[in-house]
Amino acid sequence: MRIQLSSSQFLASIVRKHTTNLHFTTTIKTHNPSSPLNTDANPSSTPEIEKKHVHRVYDAIAPHFSATRFAKWPKVSSFLNNLPSGSVILDAGCGNGKYLGLNPNCFVIGCDISAPLVQICSDKGHEVLVADAVNLPYRSAYGDAAILIAVLHHLSTEHRRMKAIDELVRVVKKGGHVLITVWAVEQQDRSLVDKWTPVMGEYVVDEVKEFGSVCQQEYFVPWHLPYHRAAAAAAESGDSVESGFGRKDDRKGAIVYDRYYHVFCESELERLICGMKNAVIVDQFYDKSNWCVILEKT
């Protein structure tokens, strides 16, 4: 059964009551985290490392990223497919929207910080808006379930990671489930880690400077954008090599962009969640180099 509701009705029914100035007729709805909508204090403004090494990178690689991201992860698929018909599901950091249409019996609405990725989702007919997972523009207790797949590891402070989890729990109903997955320090293919660059210098976040880190958890993970794709992107957004944002790798025939990751240790997700008063962990597992939890809102 697919329930029919027009885009504007659907979006209007889920965003926070005070967001009446949003324009539902535009293709992409943008939620500006620093706008007056941001009444729930954002832990801090977006750190530079996320602006440059997460947001700008996904914007620059969006079409290539989308073209290479179609395989659906079985654990996410089974979570979504097991939800009751008619459920409202919120996908924060939805990327190219590969999970948005997965269960045709549910309403799925996505958001992502990257406007080009949101545009790609929108072009496929999905309900999406541009928003920061740390400050979701949805009303409290609206969704039946929420997912945050491979997003939390792009947030560069523990405060922001906790706030993103809080936000997901806030937007689901009591009894609603939230699935979160993150990259693990414990990678099955260790040779991959050798290709990553430990984050050093100006970007080492304060909490690491202050407390030190038992193991390396902050990395730049390269994204290789083939020259022909980079040329198309440059036509729209200027030359990223000249501006020092990307670098050329002639051997690979690609522009290399560094994506920031905070990879999670065993039990780290659990530790972030254990202090929450309104959620409990109902399942947790390690799968394909990811730590995963399913929370239930209490």
Ligand X SMILES: C[S@@+](CC[C@H](N)C(=O)[O-])C[C@H]1O[C@@H](n2cnc3c(N)ncnc32)[C@H](O)[C@@H]1O
Binding site for ligand X (CB under 6 A): 54, 58, 69, 93-95, 98, 112-114, 117, 132-134, 149-151, 154
Q: Which is nearer to ligand X, 113 or 255 (CB)?
A: 113
Strands (E), 113-217: 127-130, 143-149, 172-183, 197-198
Q: Measured between alpha carbons, how far is 10 from 127 in angstroms, rounded to an integer?
A: 8
Least Cβ distance, residue 250 to ligand X (angstroms): 27
Question: CB within 8 A of 294, min separation 6: which ones?
Answer: 79, 177, 178, 179, 180, 281, 282, 283, 284
Cα-flanking dihedrals φ and ψ of residue 81, to 5°? -70, -20
AA letter at 74:
P
Least Cβ distance, residue 120 to ligand X (angstroms): 10
Least Cβ distance, residue 11 to ligand X (angstroms): 17
Nearest-CB residue for ligand X? 95
Which tokens is 261 given?
């990751």
Q: Which is nearer to ligand X, 3 or 111 (CB)?
A: 111
Q: Which is nearer to ligand X, 9 or 81 (CB)?
A: 81
In angstroms, the Cα distances linking 38 to 42, 72, 182, 253 are 7, 33, 26, 42
* Of residues 166, 208, 157, the one with CA closest to residue 54: 157
Q: Which is nearer to ligand X, 53 or 297 (CB)?
A: 53
Q: Which is nearer to ligand X, 133 or 184 (CB)?
A: 133
AA letter at 72:
K
Least Cβ distance, residue 113 to ligand X (angstroms): 4
Question: CB within 8 A of 85, min separation 6: which ones?
Answer: 1, 105, 106
Q: Which is nearer to ligand X, 70 or 211 (CB)?
A: 70
Q: Which is nearer to ligand X, 117 or 178 (CB)?
A: 117
Least Cβ distance, residue 119 to ligand X (angstroms): 12
Least Cβ distance, residue 41 to ligand X (angstroms): 16
Least Cβ distance, residue 199 to ligand X (angstroms): 16
Strands (E), 123-198: 127-130, 143-149, 172-183, 197-198
Q: Measured between alpha carbons, how far is 168 from 164 in angstroms, rounded to an integer?
A: 6
